Chain A
């Protein structure tokens, strides 16, 4: 059975992989100072982060039109797919899964919509696992199991340069953002099931980086890993070096991607943030 895959641009799936596997990526819409931009088309991530600190109003996102979803599904079916799996960024963070579900109704059960519970490559890795399983010729049930298993093992964490953007976004409980209302604090947070959970807080970039590293290394053997940043490539490379020098480096998969993270998330985290998305190895 030929299975098609659809995801959204905040899943941060690298373009080469999307093309390689024929995955349809629906771009999110960014609203910056009252104007609409298509993520990655009208505005690059570099441009977005460069403008972010000067934005007077906090940027927001809008879901693409349901027609866009329907058009992608139609296209894949027309190309011979018998079933479609549409995997999207956590519904606690966006309305993308809901739009997808609405669009899927018109396809008589041929489109399965999944909500990843995660974001950026935390979603992207679930799509990738699905793509690999499809390529191996697995059936729909097995592919869905692969996605589910990946979803269980995915971990996303970030070390933010400042609490300001998180506070401005209003997306996190006040209990978290009011921490260190007086001192400048660099929070280290985990993003799980669409919710922000504080891991620890640091006062300096180095402290925050090493806390993030410790958390990553404590996850044990990893199947997949991406280092994420919000326009802080130098910081991400430094983190990668630390990782490769650590004594637990054998836990780290051979292929590690460095990604300038989705603007949708970046708007809440602020520039110069560092993070990762990882999938823990399956325990045999």
Chain B
């Protein structure tokens, strides 16, 4: 039977299908992380954005397609996280604008909506980069236009769009050398593809629950993400490295694991397989028993995720005294990745803190709520992360308050800006001063590489300590202290006056101070300050001034 159009209820089903399929393939999208640093996972960010979009319509029963899509766009807007999430929400916004007042979506309306989605998304980004989700949205829109001239079947249009999206995603490395270097495709584009493909699979009556079985390169598996979602009851993370025996068969392996747990990932590299799964307490040994039957186990790692999460939450609980802002004064909202950093921001007069950072990007709504809860209309936000600036801008668009985004890309930049806050000053002038101050500081970020890659001319092996200089990979080393010292040399630290080391939650104060002493020894003229940062994943955030 040919369907000539989608009504509101059909839209709802399609959005749910897109969401479900994205969730099923979330890890595949996450694994497309180019940079070897633990940063906001695209798959997770897009999924959270789509979840918020669907929650907005889950109780709606509109037959009017335009109204339903408008609600989707609203939900996506509020839930947008990370750059890809924000762009996805922009796509929905354009899509909804084109469908405003439409009872149903036919083939030509669908094409028009894809076109408006593309235009809105491009306009939402200051400097659009090709080879990203934007390019994929453009190729989808072009194909939709063509298809709508040849058929009046919206499903056929969607089918051709899915194909176009797939091909477009495959082409992304041609635009972005970093993708090519890392031999991956663009993650945001891939996420968009999964959403549309999920809709099509639903219309075709195909399953949305089990992922297409895929084996990733071993290095692409993220295994140390303590903040990953823990499904209820699935408290244990089990990782097994093994050499498969003769009878090993991937589909059987997968379906057996699905009976045991969730969040299944399988990686392969040089004949070794790595299996990752979340299981309930009582089943935690089952994957090991099972894999022993089909191969030779070389390594097993087991972690209690819930206990880890509680640990992290417990640490965040120490109270922080924020600045009291009077109506009419300027309040600063800052995004902070760790409790120590929050305390320092508070001591500099920040009025509200949104938790988040490298691996947990706050949503537009999280930021918006912080704005709304302040007793003043004049607000400055410090995103302190390049992946949060867009969401901050989006929150600014939504609120009725006067907001200036001071686009700090990391914590040291945010702190440098804070020194120029004058709560009683003119909002515009203060924001301008703070923005100027961002460039006063050189930033270092020290972390452990999550994959093997060559980037910015630096060779990195998974597990090595790496240092980023102003966001660019600068140093890789086998030890933390060498990485720090080499980084300071690359940054020309001798020319400066002050180095502040913000140590992360994985590092002990003693160890941080030991490294600070090494720095003092190497640079006797430099002042070296050690501060507890409490940020996850990054052993040190360093500011040089």
Contact = CB atoms under 8 A, between A and B. Distances in A.
A183 B343 contact: no
Interface stretch (B197-205, B344-352, B394-402): B344-352
B461 to A, nearest CB: 35
Given A200-B420, A207-B440, A183 B529 contact: yes
A201 B422 CA distance: 10
Contacts of A183: 344, 347-348, 415, 500, 529, 531
A140 to B, nearest CB: 40
A225 to B, nearest CB: 25
Interface in B388-435: 415-416, 419-420, 422, 433
Nearest to B433: A200
Contact of A182 (B344, B420, B422, B433): B344
Contact of A204 (B349, B433, B545): B545
Nearest to A210: B440
B498 A204 contact: yes
Given A179-B348, A179-B349, A182-B344, A200 B497 contact: no
A128 B307 CA distance: 73
A182 B531 contact: yes
B545 A203 contact: yes
A151 B353 CA distance: 43
B350 to A, nearest CB: 11
A145 to B, nearest CB: 33
Secondary structure of the B contact surface, majority rule = mixed
A185 B529 contact: no
Contacts of B531: 182-183
A180 interface: yes
Contacts of B343: 182
Contacts of B420: 200-201
Q: Assign chain A's interface to a size class.
A: 10 to 19
Nearest to B343: A182
A99 B348 CA distance: 40
Nearest to B324: A175
B143 to A, nearest CB: 53
Interface in B322-372: 343-344, 347-349
A109 interface: no
B497 A204 contact: yes
Most buried by A among B419, B420, B527: B419
B348 A180 contact: yes
B234 to A, nearest CB: 39
B413 to A, nearest CB: 13
A206 interface: yes
Contacts of B496: 204
A152 B138 CA distance: 63
A206 B441 CA distance: 13
A180 B416 CA distance: 12
Nearest to B441: A203
Nearest to A204: B497
Contacts of B545: 203-204, 207
A209 to B, nearest CB: 11
A184 interface: yes
Contacts of B344: 182-183
A182 B416 CA distance: 14
Nearest to B416: A203
A203 B496 CA distance: 12
B424 to A, nearest CB: 10
A202 interface: yes
A126 interface: no
Contacts of A44: none
Nearest to B498: A204
Interface string B113-126: 00000000000000
A205 interface: yes
A204 B525 CA distance: 13
B498 A178 contact: no
A246 B333 CA distance: 37
Contacts of A34: none
A187 to B, nearest CB: 9
A11 B527 CA distance: 35
Contacts of B419: 180, 185, 200-203
A181 B345 CA distance: 10
Nearest to B345: A182
Nearest to A201: B419
Contacts of B498: 203-204
Contacts of B527: 184, 204
Given A179-B347, A205-B497, 4 more contacts: A180-B347, A182-B343, A182-B344, A203-B500
21 contacts: A178-B347, A179-B347, A179-B348, A180-B419, A182-B343, A182-B344, A182-B531, A183-B344, A183-B348, A183-B531, A184-B527, A184-B529, A200-B419, A200-B420, A203-B416, A203-B419, A203-B545, A204-B497, A204-B527, A206-B497, A207-B545
Interface of A: 178-185, 198, 200-207
Kindly list the 10 A-B residue pairs having the minimum CB-CB distance in the complex, ordered from nearest. Answer: A204-B497, A201-B419, A181-B347, A182-B347, A204-B498, A182-B344, A204-B545, A203-B545, A200-B420, A203-B498
